[in-house]
Amino acid sequence: MNKTIPYGRQSIDEQDIEAVVEVLRSDWLTTGPNVESFEGTIAGFVGAANAVAVSSGTAALHAAMYAIGIGPGDEVIVPPITFAATANAVVFQGGIPVFADVDEDTLLINPERIREKITLRTKAIIAVDYAGHPCDYDALRKIADEKGIVLVADACHALGAAYKGRMAGSLADLTVFSFHPVKHITTGEGGMVTTDNPDYVKRMRMFRNHCIDADFRQREEKGAWFYQMVDLGYNYRISDFQCALGMSQLKKLPEWIQRRQEIAAVYDRFFVEQKRVRSLQVNPNVKHAYHLYVVRVDDRDGVFKALRSNGIGVNVHYVPVHLHPYYKQKFRYGEGLCPVAEKVYGEIISLPMYQGLTEELQDICLQQLKALRRTLDGENEQYAK
Ligand SMILES: *Cc1c(COP(=O)(O)O)cnc(C)c1O
């Protein structure tokens, strides 16, 4: 057989399929009752007043940048160790993503580095809960309040995570989630922004529908055909059957996070013995949602090649965003901007981590890792060729 074990994948059961089919048989395929229900369910789950569902996590980031009024020349502070979409959303609105380096032990944005990057043009911070570990929101809140800037959380890795007992989704002014199949729960493609701010909600609901002002009273006055586009928006709508899938998936999330934590504990125990491997630090005041399980190894490229050629679908999250050719050319960014991220980038590898990874499958991963013991342990080095 020898099928590759991926680093992440979705779980879909018969309940999920039934939930989708039921909507396909109904009157609403898009923007129907399931969109609102999904928004309400997610808002309730994370403890936010409101949620706005959109067509992807990227659309959710873009909507958040629109909601807070990011425009040409505005600076938004982002970490370099994230998916490119975090920074791209700033550029979509004409803003400038300013990279603040990460903490070496957690790979989360470092509050000290944020302070150094704040200027009179800084409008917001986007904190990324890398791997599913919430950032230090007390420190971030303090900076945001002191400087009068907006705190946005990219919690695409962190649905179900918590910081000091508070859920991801209620820790920042706006929080973004993704429902791509590799994330905790999926709608195929999909995203959500949670917030307590009713003005942001109004702006994002318009933005996902071409910024068409749906003021019904105005329509009645001028005739039923009348509508106005008041700003430039997009079609970022999510369909009704996707939201039905999302609600069905969400029921299983607590159980799935528990399974992810068990898998992480098995890896943790294994790597304690390996002298040349560093697991990422987990702070005591968080509930880690383990979207990813990332370790640092000296010979990352060698380990990557060996595991890939033996059916373990390891990956690297992420190429530091400021090193992509687009960012080098457009903003004149490059090597040396974020030294910690650049160094750690050469060492990180993401191991298989998803709720469907059985004990047997994880065992196969561990067997392959054991075969690399010389590289990972450093003992018996004298015998290594
Ligand atoms: C997945 C992800 C996104 C983008 O979400 P999509 O739904 O794929 O558009 C943004 N930021 C981070 C950190 C992500 O992991």
**Per-residue CA distances from 151 to 72, 90, 121, 154 (Å):** 19, 14, 15, 10
Q: Is the pLDDT of residue 383 over 60?
A: no
**Contact yes or no for 124/76 (Cβ under 8 A):** yes
**Ligand 1: centre distance to CA 9 (Å):** 15
Instruction: Report residue 169 as tokens.
Output: 């989704």
Q: Is the CB of 79 under 6 A from ligand 1?
A: no
Which atom of ligand 1 lies nearest, measured to the CA of 191? 7
Could you give the domains of the chain? 5-250 (3.40.640.10), 253-376 (3.90.1150.10)
**pLDDT tens for each residue of 130-174:** 999 999 999 999 999 999 999 999 999 999 999 999 999 999 999
State the distance from the centre of ligand 1 to the C-alpha of 128, rounded, in angstroms: 10
pLDDT band at residue 380 using 50, 70 and 90 as cut-offs:
low
Among 109, 152, 156, residue to substitute to test ligand 1 (most atoms within 8 Å of Cβ)? 156
The strand ranges marked E within the chain are 5-6, 50-54, 75-78, 96-99, 122-128, 150-154, 162-163, 166-167, 174-178, 191-195, 212-213, 228-229, 277-279, 286-287, 293-297, 312-313, 348-351
Report CA(57)–ligand 1 centroid distance (Å).
5
Question: Taking the model in full, what pTM does it have?
Answer: 0.96
Residue with tokens 């969109």: 35
pLDDT tens digits for range 289-340: 999 999 999 999 999 999 999 999 999 999 999 999 999 999 999 999 999 9
- 239 ligand 1 Cβ < 6 A: no
CA of 220 to the centre of ligand 1 (A): 40
- pLDDT recorded at residue 384: 44
Determine the straight-line distance between the first and last CA of the chain, rounded to whole angstroms. 31
Residue nearest (by alpha carbon) to ligand 1 atom 15:
156
What is the SS3 assignment for 337? Answer: coil
Atom of ligand 1 nearest to the CA of 178: 7
83 in contact with ligand 1, CB cutoff 6 A: yes
List the catalytic residues: 183
Tell me, in angstroms, the distance from the centre of ligand 1 to residue 338's CA.
Answer: 21
Q: Does residue 157 have its Cβ closer than 6 Å to ligand 1?
A: yes
Task: Share the mean pLDDT of the chain.
Answer: 95
Taking only the tens place, the pLDDT of each residue in 58-103 is: 999 999 999 999 999 999 999 999 999 999 999 999 999 999 999 9
